[in-house]
């Protein structure tokens, strides 16, 4: 079964439960940015499910160290933009062979990741910044469907409404970001390292910016950590003029971000804060759901920052040193 519309995602979970009513475990599996985009869905389910167990895995580790509960009572959601990531395709096949119900999330119909998937979810990508968030939104909605159909979820209707409204909100938000992003790029284009931090559902936005956008696509050394771990190692690196980028969420872990921000400000480091509260989720997203939509509004902003860095450095985001050029 192939699904492209958010409104049809409930059919996938309904069909799975028709075959296996007792779903006990949900695994989210991917590599790189695709794994990071799975994180809000995982975070939502982990925070709200009372019975279902859930975990998130790098695809290669999932293949080599497969959890024992990958069986007929499990749903395995794998994700790959182009659908050809070998590790993620292998993870899908392995899960299928172990009897799990497999859902492949990709932009490319008929790609390798879909071959052994029971269900395929096709997401948008090219047309706009909101299209680039379609993957993250669809996975979050899949998680909401799983919870609602297995245990019930009192904010289910609010989740669907927020998901519908978030697309135009993203495209409106990014219109105002370019001047700030350009100033950041001009300031940090020659930085020896950029530290990136966040917490909650947004922590993997920080990881993806650091690992994928900076290190992979710009060859800029970068380090990332959860603000909850800031005072357990990373704060010793805070000094005058050290560049830090904080993705500040407005959910339950905002206090962690605020505490780290206050410390960094004391030592006059070069701190840039991208605060979800500045981008008007109020009125669009129910207060109980902001944790899960913060990464959806911050991710396209982070991408614009990276695009501006690419422009001032004359280093396109598509440029690679090794990827697509060597066997590895």
Q: Torsion-angle region of residue 110: left (phi > 0), alpha (psi -120 to 50) or beta?
A: left
What CA–CA distances, in Å, run from 285 to 68, 202, 225? 37, 16, 27
Least confident of 163-172, 267-276, 317-326: 317-326
Please state the φ and ψ torsions of residue 151, each to the nearest 5 degrees: -120, -15
User: Pick from 301, 292, 310: which is nearest to 249 by CA?
Assistant: 292
Convert the pLDDT of each residue in 281-303 to its tens digit: 878 999 999 999 999 999 999 99
Contact assessment for residue 296 and residue 281, using Cβ atoms and an 8 Å cutoff: no
Convert the pLDDT of each residue in 35-61 to its tens digit: 999 999 999 999 999 999 999 999 999
* pLDDT for the residue 323: 85
- Enumerate the domain spans of the chain: 2-153, 176-313
Contact assessment for residue 91 and residue 29, using Cβ atoms and an 8 Å cutoff: yes
Residue 222 has pLDDT above 90, yes or no: yes
> What is the CATH architecture assignment of 2-153?
3-Layer(aba) Sandwich (3.40)
pLDDT confidence of 62, banded at 50, 70, 90? Answer: very high
CATH number of 176-313: 3.40.50.10490
* pLDDT for the residue 326: 84
What CA–CA distances, in Å, run from 313 to 195, 196, 220, 241, 292? 19, 19, 11, 20, 33
User: Pick from 209, 228, 200: which is nearest to 293 by CA?
Assistant: 200
* pLDDT for the residue 280: 73
**Beta-carbon contacts of residue 67 (< 8 Å; ≥ 6 apart):** 25, 27, 55, 57
* pLDDT for the residue 324: 80
* pLDDT for the residue 271: 96
Quick one: tokens of 160? 């669907």
Convert the pLDDT of each residue in 1-46 to its tens digit: 778 888 899 999 999 999 999 999 999 999 999 999 999 999 999 9
How much of the chain exceeds pLDDT 90, in percent?
91
- pTM for the predicted model, two decimal places: 0.96
User: Pick from 280, 249, 79, 252: which is nearest to 166 by CA?
Assistant: 280
Quick one: tokens of 266? 């004391």
Residue 102 has pLDDT above 90, yes or no: yes
**Beta-carbon contacts of residue 169 (< 8 Å; ≥ 6 apart):** 279, 280, 281, 284, 297
Neighbours of 171 (CB within 10 A): 16
Give the whole-angstrom CA distance, residue 156 versus residue 225: 31
Q: In what order do the strands lie in the sheet with 74-80?
A: 2-3, 119-122, 101-106, 74-80, 25-30, 53-58
């Amino acid at each position: 079964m192939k699904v492209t519309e958010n409104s049809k995602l409930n059919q996938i979970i309904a069909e799975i439960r028709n075959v296996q009513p007792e779903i006990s475990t949900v695994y989210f599996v991917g590599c790189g940015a695709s794994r990071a985009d799975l994180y809000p869905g995982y975070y939502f389910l982990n925070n709200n499910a009372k019975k279902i167990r859930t975990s998130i895995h790098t695809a290669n580790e999932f293949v080599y160290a497969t959890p024992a509960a990958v069986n007929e009572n499990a749903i395995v959601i794998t994700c790959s933009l182009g659908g050809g990531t070998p590790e993620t395709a292998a993870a899908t096949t392995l899960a299928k062979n172990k009897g799990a119900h497999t859902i492949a999330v990709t932009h490319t119909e008929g790609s390798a990741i879909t071959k052994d998937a029971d269900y395929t979810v096709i997401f948008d990508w090219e047309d706009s910044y909101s299209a680039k968030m379609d993957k993250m939104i669809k996975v979050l909605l899949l998680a909401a469907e799983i919870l609602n159909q297995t245990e019930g979820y009192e904010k289910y209707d609010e989740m669907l409404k927020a998901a519908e409204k978030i697309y135009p909100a993203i495209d409106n938000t990014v219109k105002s970001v370019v001047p700030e992003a350009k100033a950041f790029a001009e300031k940090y284009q020659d930085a020896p390292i950029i530290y990136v931090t966040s917490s909650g559902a947004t922590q993997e936005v920080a990881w993806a910016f650091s690992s994928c956008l900076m290190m992979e696509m710009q060859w800029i050394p970068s380090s990332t950590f959860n603000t909850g771990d800031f005072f357990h190692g990373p704060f010793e690196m805070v000094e005058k003029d050290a560049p830090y980028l904080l993705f500040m969420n407005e959910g339950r872990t905002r206090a962690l971000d605020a505490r780290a921000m206050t410390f960094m400000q004391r030592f006059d480091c070069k701190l840039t804060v991208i605060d979800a509260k500045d981008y008007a989720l109020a009125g669009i997203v129910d207060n109980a759901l902001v944790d899960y939509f913060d990464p959806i509004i911050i991710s396209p902003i982070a991408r614009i920052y990276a695009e501006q860095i690419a422009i001032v450095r004359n280093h396109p985001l598509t440029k690679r040193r090794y990827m697509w050029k060597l066997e590895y």
